[in-house]
Structure 1
Amino acid sequence: MTRIILIRHGQTQWNERERFRGRADLDLTDLGVRQSHITAEAVAKWPVSALYSSPLPRAMHTAQILAHRLQVPVQPLPGIIDVDYGQWQGLSVAEVAARYSELFEVWRTKPHLVTFPGGEGVEAVRLRAKAAMEEVAQQHLNQTIALVSHVVVCRLLVLSVLGLDSSYFWRVEQNLCAINIFEVRDGYFVAALLNDTCHLKRAGLEG
Protein backbone atom coordinates (compact mmCIF):
# COMPACT_ATOMS: atom_id res chain seq x y z
CA MET A 1 0.00 0.00 0.00
CA THR A 2 1.19 3.51 -0.82
CA ARG A 3 0.93 5.80 2.19
CA ILE A 4 1.46 9.57 2.45
CA ILE A 5 2.19 11.11 5.86
CA LEU A 6 1.49 14.84 5.57
CA ILE A 7 2.91 16.98 8.38
CA ARG A 8 2.63 20.69 9.08
CA HIS A 9 5.86 22.38 10.23
CA GLY A 10 6.52 23.49 13.82
CA GLN A 11 5.98 26.89 15.38
CA THR A 12 7.62 30.10 14.13
CA GLN A 13 7.52 33.59 15.66
CA TRP A 14 4.97 34.65 13.06
CA ASN A 15 2.68 31.81 14.12
CA GLU A 16 2.77 33.30 17.61
CA ARG A 17 2.01 36.78 16.27
CA GLU A 18 -0.60 35.67 13.70
CA ARG A 19 1.09 37.18 10.67
CA PHE A 20 0.67 36.05 7.08
CA ARG A 21 3.83 34.00 6.56
CA GLY A 22 3.81 32.81 2.96
CA ARG A 23 7.27 32.74 1.40
CA ALA A 24 9.03 34.52 4.29
CA ASP A 25 12.32 32.97 5.47
CA LEU A 26 11.25 32.04 8.97
CA ASP A 27 12.90 29.45 11.19
CA LEU A 28 11.40 27.50 14.07
CA THR A 29 11.13 28.83 17.60
CA ASP A 30 12.48 26.73 20.47
CA LEU A 31 8.95 25.38 20.89
CA GLY A 32 8.81 24.58 17.18
CA VAL A 33 12.03 22.58 17.47
CA ARG A 34 10.66 20.61 20.42
CA GLN A 35 7.40 20.00 18.55
CA SER A 36 9.36 18.67 15.59
CA HIS A 37 11.37 16.25 17.73
CA ILE A 38 8.20 14.86 19.32
CA THR A 39 6.60 14.58 15.87
CA ALA A 40 9.64 12.72 14.55
CA GLU A 41 9.24 10.15 17.32
CA ALA A 42 5.56 9.75 16.45
CA VAL A 43 6.25 9.31 12.73
CA ALA A 44 9.04 6.80 13.38
CA LYS A 45 6.47 4.06 14.00
CA TRP A 46 5.83 3.97 10.23
CA PRO A 47 8.42 2.61 7.75
CA VAL A 48 9.14 5.91 5.98
CA SER A 49 11.28 5.36 2.90
CA ALA A 50 11.28 8.91 1.48
CA LEU A 51 10.95 12.38 2.99
CA TYR A 52 10.01 15.51 1.05
CA SER A 53 9.67 19.09 2.26
CA SER A 54 8.68 22.54 1.17
CA PRO A 55 11.98 24.35 0.55
CA LEU A 56 11.18 27.14 3.05
CA PRO A 57 13.38 27.17 6.21
CA ARG A 58 10.62 26.45 8.74
CA ALA A 59 9.52 23.35 6.85
CA MET A 60 13.05 22.21 6.01
CA HIS A 61 14.14 22.53 9.65
CA THR A 62 11.16 20.42 10.72
CA ALA A 63 11.98 17.89 8.01
CA GLN A 64 15.66 17.75 8.95
CA ILE A 65 14.70 16.82 12.50
CA LEU A 66 12.49 14.06 11.09
CA ALA A 67 15.27 12.96 8.74
CA HIS A 68 17.72 12.51 11.60
CA ARG A 69 15.26 10.29 13.47
CA LEU A 70 14.02 8.38 10.41
CA GLN A 71 17.46 8.02 8.82
CA VAL A 72 16.26 9.15 5.40
CA PRO A 73 17.43 12.26 3.50
CA VAL A 74 15.22 15.31 2.95
CA GLN A 75 14.35 16.15 -0.63
CA PRO A 76 12.94 19.63 -1.39
CA LEU A 77 9.59 19.58 -3.19
CA PRO A 78 8.70 23.02 -4.62
CA GLY A 79 5.12 21.96 -5.35
CA ILE A 80 4.27 21.97 -1.63
CA ILE A 81 5.82 25.37 -0.82
CA ASP A 82 3.56 27.77 1.08
CA VAL A 83 1.13 30.07 -0.72
CA ASP A 84 2.55 33.33 -2.05
CA TYR A 85 0.56 35.95 -0.12
CA GLY A 86 2.05 38.76 -2.18
CA GLN A 87 1.33 42.13 -0.55
CA TRP A 88 -0.21 40.44 2.50
CA GLN A 89 3.03 38.72 3.50
CA GLY A 90 4.33 39.93 6.85
CA LEU A 91 1.13 41.75 7.75
CA SER A 92 -0.96 40.89 10.79
CA VAL A 93 -4.56 39.78 10.42
CA ALA A 94 -5.69 43.16 11.79
CA GLU A 95 -3.52 45.03 9.28
CA VAL A 96 -4.89 43.05 6.35
CA ALA A 97 -8.47 43.54 7.57
CA ALA A 98 -7.89 47.31 7.68
CA ARG A 99 -5.99 47.73 4.40
CA TYR A 100 -7.76 45.13 2.24
CA SER A 101 -11.18 44.99 3.88
CA GLU A 102 -13.16 43.79 0.84
CA LEU A 103 -10.74 41.05 -0.19
CA PHE A 104 -10.26 40.03 3.44
CA GLU A 105 -14.00 39.47 3.72
CA VAL A 106 -13.88 37.27 0.62
CA TRP A 107 -10.95 35.36 2.19
CA ARG A 108 -13.06 34.77 5.31
CA THR A 109 -16.24 33.74 3.49
CA LYS A 110 -15.28 32.50 0.00
CA PRO A 111 -11.59 31.55 0.15
CA HIS A 112 -11.73 29.57 -3.09
CA LEU A 113 -12.27 32.83 -5.00
CA VAL A 114 -9.21 34.61 -3.61
CA THR A 115 -6.08 35.57 -5.49
CA PHE A 116 -3.73 37.43 -3.17
CA PRO A 117 -2.60 40.82 -4.53
CA GLY A 118 0.81 40.30 -6.08
CA GLY A 119 0.67 36.62 -5.12
CA GLU A 120 -1.07 33.32 -5.84
CA GLY A 121 -4.65 32.18 -6.11
CA VAL A 122 -5.97 29.55 -3.72
CA GLU A 123 -6.99 27.24 -6.55
CA ALA A 124 -3.54 27.49 -8.13
CA VAL A 125 -1.98 26.39 -4.83
CA ARG A 126 -4.36 23.44 -4.64
CA LEU A 127 -3.57 22.29 -8.18
CA ARG A 128 0.21 22.43 -7.79
CA ALA A 129 0.21 20.77 -4.36
CA LYS A 130 -2.11 17.98 -5.52
CA ALA A 131 0.05 17.38 -8.59
CA ALA A 132 3.20 17.23 -6.45
CA MET A 133 1.67 14.75 -4.00
CA GLU A 134 0.37 12.53 -6.79
CA GLU A 135 3.76 12.58 -8.51
CA VAL A 136 5.69 11.43 -5.44
CA ALA A 137 3.06 8.78 -4.75
CA GLN A 138 3.63 7.41 -8.25
CA GLN A 139 7.39 7.46 -7.72
CA HIS A 140 7.09 5.47 -4.46
CA LEU A 141 4.44 2.85 -5.11
CA ASN A 142 3.75 0.60 -2.11
CA GLN A 143 5.97 2.73 0.12
CA THR A 144 5.39 5.20 2.95
CA ILE A 145 6.37 8.79 2.13
CA ALA A 146 6.42 11.79 4.47
CA LEU A 147 5.75 15.35 3.30
CA VAL A 148 6.36 18.49 5.41
CA SER A 149 4.39 21.55 4.36
CA HIS A 150 2.29 24.52 5.52
CA VAL A 151 -1.22 25.15 6.81
CA VAL A 152 -2.73 26.39 3.53
CA VAL A 153 -1.22 23.56 1.51
CA CYS A 154 -2.18 20.95 4.12
CA ARG A 155 -5.78 22.16 4.25
CA LEU A 156 -6.08 22.11 0.47
CA LEU A 157 -4.58 18.62 0.20
CA VAL A 158 -7.00 17.32 2.84
CA LEU A 159 -9.92 18.82 0.91
CA SER A 160 -8.62 17.28 -2.30
CA VAL A 161 -8.40 13.82 -0.74
CA LEU A 162 -11.91 14.18 0.74
CA GLY A 163 -13.32 15.28 -2.61
CA LEU A 164 -14.41 18.66 -1.26
CA ASP A 165 -13.94 21.95 -3.09
CA SER A 166 -11.86 24.77 -1.68
CA SER A 167 -14.89 26.67 -0.38
CA TYR A 168 -14.64 24.31 2.62
CA PHE A 169 -11.15 25.65 3.44
CA TRP A 170 -12.07 26.99 6.88
CA ARG A 171 -13.83 23.73 7.84
CA VAL A 172 -10.49 21.92 8.02
CA GLU A 173 -8.08 22.46 10.92
CA GLN A 174 -4.34 21.86 10.59
CA ASN A 175 -2.42 22.53 13.78
CA LEU A 176 1.33 22.94 14.08
CA CYS A 177 3.13 19.60 13.60
CA ALA A 178 -0.18 17.84 12.98
CA ILE A 179 0.00 14.45 11.27
CA ASN A 180 -2.32 13.41 8.43
CA ILE A 181 -2.25 10.04 6.70
CA PHE A 182 -3.55 9.33 3.20
CA GLU A 183 -3.55 5.77 1.87
CA VAL A 184 -3.95 4.77 -1.76
CA ARG A 185 -6.71 2.19 -2.05
CA ASP A 186 -8.15 1.02 -5.37
CA GLY A 187 -6.39 3.85 -7.16
CA TYR A 188 -7.46 6.81 -5.06
CA PHE A 189 -6.44 8.48 -1.80
CA VAL A 190 -8.32 7.67 1.40
CA ALA A 191 -7.98 9.85 4.51
CA ALA A 192 -6.90 7.47 7.28
CA LEU A 193 -5.88 10.11 9.85
CA LEU A 194 -6.47 13.88 9.99
CA ASN A 195 -4.89 16.64 12.10
CA ASP A 196 -3.54 14.26 14.73
CA THR A 197 -1.74 16.12 17.53
CA CYS A 198 -2.00 13.49 20.27
CA HIS A 199 1.80 13.24 20.36
CA LEU A 200 2.03 16.96 21.17
CA LYS A 201 -0.77 16.88 23.73
CA ARG A 202 0.94 14.10 25.65
CA ALA A 203 4.13 16.17 25.74
CA GLY A 204 2.33 19.43 26.59
CA LEU A 205 3.70 21.04 23.41
CA GLU A 206 0.66 22.18 21.47
CA GLY A 207 1.29 25.62 19.98
Structure 2
Amino acid sequence: MENKRTRFYLIRHGETDWNKGGRYQGRTNIQLNDAGKEQARLLGERFKYLPLDVVYVSPLDRAVATAEPVAASHGLTPIKDEHFIEINFGEWEGHTIEELSEKFGSTYTDFFKDPFDHPVPGEGSFQNAMDRAIEGFNILAERHKGQNVAIISHGGLLRVMLVGLLEMGDAFYRKTWMTNTSITMLDVMEDGRKLLMTLNDKAHLEMAELFKKGE
Protein backbone atom coordinates (compact mmCIF):
# COMPACT_ATOMS: atom_id res chain seq x y z
CA MET A 1 0.00 0.00 0.00
CA GLU A 2 2.89 2.36 0.76
CA ASN A 3 3.95 2.59 -2.88
CA LYS A 4 0.41 3.65 -3.86
CA ARG A 5 1.01 7.20 -2.66
CA THR A 6 3.68 9.87 -2.64
CA ARG A 7 3.99 11.56 0.74
CA PHE A 8 5.02 15.19 1.09
CA TYR A 9 6.14 16.76 4.35
CA LEU A 10 5.65 20.51 3.97
CA ILE A 11 7.74 22.18 6.66
CA ARG A 12 8.11 25.80 7.68
CA HIS A 13 11.60 26.92 8.71
CA GLY A 14 12.59 27.58 12.33
CA GLU A 15 12.11 30.83 14.19
CA THR A 16 14.02 34.03 13.40
CA ASP A 17 14.13 37.34 15.25
CA TRP A 18 11.93 38.84 12.53
CA ASN A 19 9.35 36.09 13.10
CA LYS A 20 9.44 36.90 16.78
CA GLY A 21 9.02 40.61 16.07
CA GLY A 22 6.18 40.11 13.57
CA ARG A 23 8.14 41.48 10.61
CA TYR A 24 7.64 40.47 6.98
CA GLN A 25 10.75 38.57 5.88
CA GLY A 26 10.12 37.61 2.27
CA ARG A 27 13.39 37.23 0.38
CA THR A 28 15.43 39.03 3.08
CA ASN A 29 17.99 36.44 4.18
CA ILE A 30 17.42 36.38 7.94
CA GLN A 31 19.14 33.70 10.02
CA LEU A 32 17.59 31.37 12.59
CA ASN A 33 17.76 32.64 16.16
CA ASP A 34 18.71 30.33 19.06
CA ALA A 35 15.11 29.19 19.49
CA GLY A 36 14.91 28.41 15.77
CA LYS A 37 18.11 26.36 15.89
CA GLU A 38 16.68 24.30 18.75
CA GLN A 39 13.41 23.82 16.86
CA ALA A 40 15.38 22.56 13.86
CA ARG A 41 17.32 20.15 16.08
CA LEU A 42 14.09 18.76 17.53
CA LEU A 43 12.65 18.42 14.02
CA GLY A 44 15.72 16.44 12.97
CA GLU A 45 15.29 14.14 15.97
CA ARG A 46 11.68 13.52 15.01
CA PHE A 47 12.58 12.59 11.46
CA LYS A 48 14.76 9.75 12.70
CA TYR A 49 11.43 7.94 13.16
CA LEU A 50 9.76 9.00 9.91
CA PRO A 51 10.36 7.55 6.43
CA LEU A 52 12.20 10.01 4.18
CA ASP A 53 13.80 9.65 0.76
CA VAL A 54 14.70 13.18 -0.33
CA VAL A 55 14.78 16.75 1.03
CA TYR A 56 14.18 19.91 -1.01
CA VAL A 57 14.67 23.35 0.45
CA SER A 58 14.28 27.05 -0.26
CA PRO A 59 17.74 28.56 -0.88
CA LEU A 60 17.33 31.11 1.95
CA ASP A 61 19.58 30.46 4.95
CA ARG A 62 16.80 30.05 7.52
CA ALA A 63 15.28 27.24 5.47
CA VAL A 64 18.62 25.57 4.72
CA ALA A 65 19.57 25.59 8.41
CA THR A 66 16.24 23.92 9.19
CA ALA A 67 16.65 21.34 6.44
CA GLU A 68 20.13 20.21 7.43
CA PRO A 69 19.22 18.23 10.60
CA VAL A 70 16.19 16.75 8.81
CA ALA A 71 18.34 15.51 5.93
CA ALA A 72 21.12 14.36 8.26
CA SER A 73 18.67 12.10 10.11
CA HIS A 74 18.61 9.92 6.97
CA GLY A 75 22.10 10.58 5.62
CA LEU A 76 20.74 12.88 2.90
CA THR A 77 21.87 16.23 1.48
CA PRO A 78 19.23 18.98 1.05
CA ILE A 79 18.59 20.04 -2.54
CA LYS A 80 18.01 23.79 -3.02
CA ASP A 81 15.04 24.62 -5.23
CA GLU A 82 14.06 28.18 -6.24
CA HIS A 83 10.42 27.13 -6.64
CA PHE A 84 10.10 27.11 -2.86
CA ILE A 85 11.73 30.42 -1.95
CA GLU A 86 9.50 32.76 0.07
CA ILE A 87 7.10 35.24 -1.52
CA ASN A 88 8.92 38.44 -2.51
CA PHE A 89 7.34 41.29 -0.54
CA GLY A 90 9.67 43.96 -1.91
CA GLU A 91 9.60 47.23 0.05
CA TRP A 92 7.26 45.74 2.66
CA GLU A 93 10.01 43.49 4.00
CA GLY A 94 11.36 44.34 7.44
CA HIS A 95 8.12 46.04 8.54
CA THR A 96 5.37 45.00 10.93
CA ILE A 97 1.66 45.02 10.11
CA GLU A 98 1.24 48.23 12.09
CA GLU A 99 4.12 49.95 10.29
CA LEU A 100 2.84 48.88 6.87
CA SER A 101 -0.69 50.04 7.64
CA GLU A 102 0.61 53.45 8.67
CA LYS A 103 3.11 53.85 5.82
CA PHE A 104 1.15 52.42 2.88
CA GLY A 105 -2.47 52.80 3.99
CA SER A 106 -5.08 51.04 1.87
CA THR A 107 -2.44 49.70 -0.51
CA TYR A 108 -1.42 47.39 2.30
CA THR A 109 -4.64 47.05 4.33
CA ASP A 110 -6.65 46.02 1.26
CA PHE A 111 -4.04 43.38 0.51
CA PHE A 112 -4.08 42.16 4.11
CA LYS A 113 -7.87 41.69 4.04
CA ASP A 114 -7.90 39.92 0.67
CA PRO A 115 -4.36 39.03 -0.43
CA PHE A 116 -5.33 37.15 -3.59
CA ASP A 117 -7.21 40.12 -5.05
CA HIS A 118 -4.59 42.82 -4.45
CA PRO A 119 -1.01 43.24 -5.70
CA VAL A 120 2.08 42.72 -3.59
CA PRO A 121 5.37 44.51 -4.32
CA GLY A 122 8.18 42.27 -5.46
CA GLU A 123 6.27 39.13 -6.46
CA GLY A 124 3.44 41.06 -8.08
CA SER A 125 0.65 38.80 -6.86
CA PHE A 126 -0.06 35.75 -4.73
CA GLN A 127 -1.11 34.02 -7.94
CA ASN A 128 2.44 34.35 -9.26
CA ALA A 129 3.78 32.78 -6.07
CA MET A 130 1.21 30.00 -6.23
CA ASP A 131 2.01 29.21 -9.86
CA ARG A 132 5.74 28.77 -9.27
CA ALA A 133 5.25 26.74 -6.08
CA ILE A 134 2.75 24.37 -7.71
CA GLU A 135 5.02 24.00 -10.73
CA GLY A 136 7.81 22.90 -8.40
CA PHE A 137 5.52 20.58 -6.46
CA ASN A 138 4.24 18.89 -9.63
CA ILE A 139 7.80 18.30 -10.83
CA LEU A 140 8.66 16.57 -7.55
CA ALA A 141 5.42 14.55 -7.52
CA GLU A 142 6.33 13.14 -10.92
CA ARG A 143 10.03 12.67 -10.13
CA HIS A 144 9.53 10.92 -6.78
CA LYS A 145 6.44 8.77 -7.25
CA GLY A 146 5.92 6.42 -4.33
CA GLN A 147 8.55 8.16 -2.17
CA ASN A 148 8.58 10.36 0.93
CA VAL A 149 9.56 13.93 0.13
CA ALA A 150 10.29 16.82 2.50
CA ILE A 151 9.98 20.42 1.33
CA ILE A 152 11.40 22.93 3.81
CA SER A 153 10.11 26.35 2.87
CA HIS A 154 8.22 29.33 4.29
CA GLY A 155 4.84 29.79 5.94
CA GLY A 156 3.47 32.24 3.40
CA LEU A 157 4.48 30.27 0.33
CA LEU A 158 3.43 26.90 1.74
CA ARG A 159 -0.04 28.17 2.65
CA VAL A 160 -0.47 29.76 -0.79
CA MET A 161 0.63 26.48 -2.38
CA LEU A 162 -1.89 24.51 -0.32
CA VAL A 163 -4.71 26.78 -1.49
CA GLY A 164 -3.90 25.84 -5.06
CA LEU A 165 -3.12 22.16 -4.55
CA LEU A 166 -6.29 21.47 -2.56
CA GLU A 167 -8.50 23.85 -4.57
CA MET A 168 -9.88 25.17 -1.28
CA GLY A 169 -10.55 28.75 -2.37
CA ASP A 170 -8.67 31.89 -1.44
CA ALA A 171 -10.31 32.24 1.99
CA PHE A 172 -8.51 29.05 3.08
CA TYR A 173 -5.26 31.02 3.25
CA ARG A 174 -6.49 33.20 6.12
CA LYS A 175 -7.94 30.18 7.94
CA THR A 176 -4.68 28.26 8.25
CA TRP A 177 -1.42 28.73 10.10
CA MET A 178 1.96 27.02 10.12
CA THR A 179 4.10 27.29 13.25
CA ASN A 180 7.88 27.37 12.84
CA THR A 181 9.14 23.82 12.03
CA SER A 182 5.58 22.45 11.92
CA ILE A 183 4.87 19.57 9.55
CA THR A 184 1.94 19.59 7.16
CA MET A 185 1.55 16.20 5.50
CA LEU A 186 0.03 15.87 2.05
CA ASP A 187 -0.36 12.58 0.18
CA VAL A 188 -0.63 12.36 -3.60
CA MET A 189 -2.47 9.17 -4.45
CA GLU A 190 -1.80 6.99 -7.48
CA ASP A 191 -4.85 8.44 -9.25
CA GLY A 192 -3.65 12.02 -8.64
CA ARG A 193 -5.92 12.86 -5.70
CA LYS A 194 -4.32 15.02 -3.03
CA LEU A 195 -5.21 14.30 0.59
CA LEU A 196 -4.33 16.59 3.48
CA MET A 197 -3.28 14.21 6.25
CA THR A 198 -2.05 16.67 8.90
CA LEU A 199 -1.84 20.47 9.19
CA ASN A 200 0.57 22.37 11.46
CA ASP A 201 1.76 19.27 13.34
CA LYS A 202 4.24 20.53 15.95
CA ALA A 203 4.30 17.52 18.28
CA HIS A 204 8.12 17.60 18.50
CA LEU A 205 7.93 21.10 20.00
CA GLU A 206 5.03 20.27 22.30
CA MET A 207 6.69 17.13 23.65
CA ALA A 208 9.94 19.00 24.31
CA GLU A 209 7.98 21.60 26.27
CA LEU A 210 6.24 18.89 28.30
CA PHE A 211 9.54 17.22 29.15
CA LYS A 212 10.98 20.59 30.17
CA LYS A 213 8.08 21.19 32.55
CA GLY A 214 8.55 17.71 34.04
CA GLU A 215 12.21 18.24 34.91
TM-score where L is the length of structure 2: 0.90
Matches within 5 A, 1:102-113: 102-113=106-117
Give the secondary structure class of the aligned counterpart of 1:48. coil
2:174 alignment partner in structure 1: 170
- Superposed CA deviations along residues 23-70 of structure 1, whole A, max 9, x for unmatched, are 011110111011011112223322211100000000011011212222
The alpha-carbon deviation at position 202 of structure 1 amounts to 1.1
1:143 and 1:158 mapped to 2: Cα distance? 19
Give the secondary structure class of the aligned counterpart of 1:2. strand
5+ unaligned residues in a row in structure 1: which ranges? none
- Superposed CA deviations along residues 5-34 of structure 1, whole A, max 9, x for unmatched, are 110000001001111100011110111011
Give the secondary structure class of the aligned counterpart of 1:164. coil
- Opposite residue 151 of structure 1, the aligned amino acid is G
1:184 alignment partner in structure 2: 188
Q: Indicate conservation of the 8 Å contact 1:48/1:70, yes or no.
A: yes
Give the secondary structure class of the aligned counterpart of 1:126. helix
Matches within 5 A, 1:76-115: 76-115=80-119
2:14 and 2:25 mapped to 1: Cα distance? 13
5+ unaligned residues in a row in structure 2: which ranges? 211-215
2:213 alignment partner in structure 1: none
Matches within 5 A, 1:6-25: 6-25=10-29
Q: Determine what percentage of the aligned residue pairs are the same residue.
A: 28
Give the secondary structure class of the aligned counterpart of 2:119. coil
Q: Indicate conservation of the 8 Å contact 2:10/2:151, yes or no.
A: yes
TM-score where L is the length of structure 1: 0.94
Matches within 5 A, 1:29-48: 29-48=33-52
The alpha-carbon deviation at position 167 of structure 1 amounts to 3.5
- Opposite residue 149 of structure 2, the aligned amino acid is I
- Superposed CA deviations along residues 93-150 of structure 1, whole A, max 9, x for unmatched, are 2110101110222222211113222443111111111110111111011100100000
Between 36-45 and 134-143, report the one with greater CA deviation: 36-45
**Corresponding residue to 1:199 among 189, 194, 204:** 204
Aligned length in residues? 205
Give the secondary structure class of the aligned counterpart of 1:70. coil
- Opposite residue 203 of structure 1, the aligned amino acid is A
User: RMSD over aligned Cα, in angstroms?
Assistant: 1.4
Larger Rg: 2
1:164 and 1:103 mapped to 2: Cα distance? 26
1:34 and 1:100 mapped to 2: Cα distance? 36
1:66 alignment partner in structure 2: 70
Q: Indicate conservation of the 8 Å contact 1:86/1:120, yes or no.
A: no
1:133 alignment partner in structure 2: 137
Q: Runs of at least 4 residues of structure 1 off by over 3 A?
A: none
